[in-house]
Amino acid sequence: MRFEDKNTGDIRLPRHIALIMDGNGRWAAKRGRPRKFGHRAGVKVLNDVAKYLFSLGVEYVTVYAFSTENVNRPPDEVEELISLIRRYFKTTFREFIALGIHVRAMGDETYFPPDVVDIIKKLDADSRGRSRGVLNIALNYGGRDEIVRAANLAAAGGGPIDRAAVEARLYTAGMPDPDLIVRTGGEKRLSNFLLYQAAYAELFFTDTLWPDFSRADVDAILGEFSRRERRFGRI
Ligand code: FPP
């Protein structure tokens, strides 16, 4: 009953939530620790928050874990992010299989070392067909690249390049658009995340740094979501 609409009594739970997990570096710096310490804390929070969202009945969770711009960070930070991807896809994220969740990456995987690509593909294959939900983990992902890639694939398909043709070639093909996009860490922008899919998403910004983001923050955001009126351009 927590997410009941005040006016109608309807429960409005989003089907698809997207998360921009920002603030790991600042969280670590506040503690006098290296940035990688923040990423380690951040991936644990991602694991917990995603499990919580699926337990509430959310069907799709899409997280921004590594942007096309992140490759330009200092090499030791990039290595730490890659080693976290390796470790979590191999072990912890496999727990989603038992929960009925398909775990998949979206983005240009060719950037990653071959063993990481194999680990990502294995979890995707082993969890495919799970029907309770999908966890999309954006890795070396950029929204503009995704749109250009989809347009090129549509052109190569030979048919008309219309919305249906492009949408069928996005990484999120077949999934509903995100109902809400949450960004932690205080910045108020999308930073090249889900540019096509964000057309009608409700946007939530919080100053909370990602490693401090909790189930209580999820509850507060879902409560506000259920009170917002979504008109999709209608009156
Ligand atoms: C932004 O914090 C966050 C990232 C660049 C990556 C998010 C990554 C994780 C939550 C952990 C790794 C994920 C996986 C799937 C293994 P920032 O470093 O930009 O923080 P800042 O804005 O405070 O500097």
- Per-residue pLDDT tens digits for 112-139: 999 999 999 999 999 998 889 999 999 9
Write down the pLDDT at residue 1. 38
Q: Would you give the end-to-end CA distance of the chain in angstroms? A: 28
| Six-digit token string for 210 | 């990602």
90 belongs to a structural domain: yes
47 an active-site residue? no
70 an active-site residue? yes
Write down the pLDDT at residue 159. 85
Q: What is the DSSP string of 38-79?
A: HHHHHHHHHHHHHHHHHHHT--EEEEEEEETTGGGS-HHHHH
68 belongs to a structural domain: yes
Q: How confident is the model at residue 3 (pLDDT cuts 50, 70, 90)?
A: low
Residue among 81, 119, 135, 183 whose CB has most ligand 1 atoms within 8 A, to mutate? 81
* pLDDT score of 173 more than 50: yes
24 belongs to a structural domain: yes
148 belongs to a structural domain: no
Q: How confident is the model at residue 5 (pLDDT cuts 50, 70, 90)?
A: low
* pLDDT score of 230 more than 70: no
Q: How confident is the model at residue 7 (pLDDT cuts 50, 70, 90)?
A: low
Number of structural domains in the chain: 1
Residue among 19, 20, 22 whose CB has most ligand 1 atoms within 8 A, to mutate? 22
List the catalytic residue out of 70, 145, 212, 217. Answer: 70
26 belongs to a structural domain: yes
Q: Residue 75: which CATH number? A: 3.40.1180.10
124 belongs to a structural domain: yes
151 belongs to a structural domain: no
175 belongs to a structural domain: no
Question: Using N-to-C axis directions, what is the helix angle for 35-56 and 215-227, rounded to 10°?
Answer: 50
Domain housing 127: 11-142
Q: State the closest ligand 1 atom to the C-alpha of 67, by its place in the atom list counted from 1.
A: 5
Using an 8 Å Cβ cutoff, are 136 and 54 in contact? no
The residues pairing with 203 across neighbouring beta strands, listed in sequence order, are 181
Tally the residues of the chain.
235
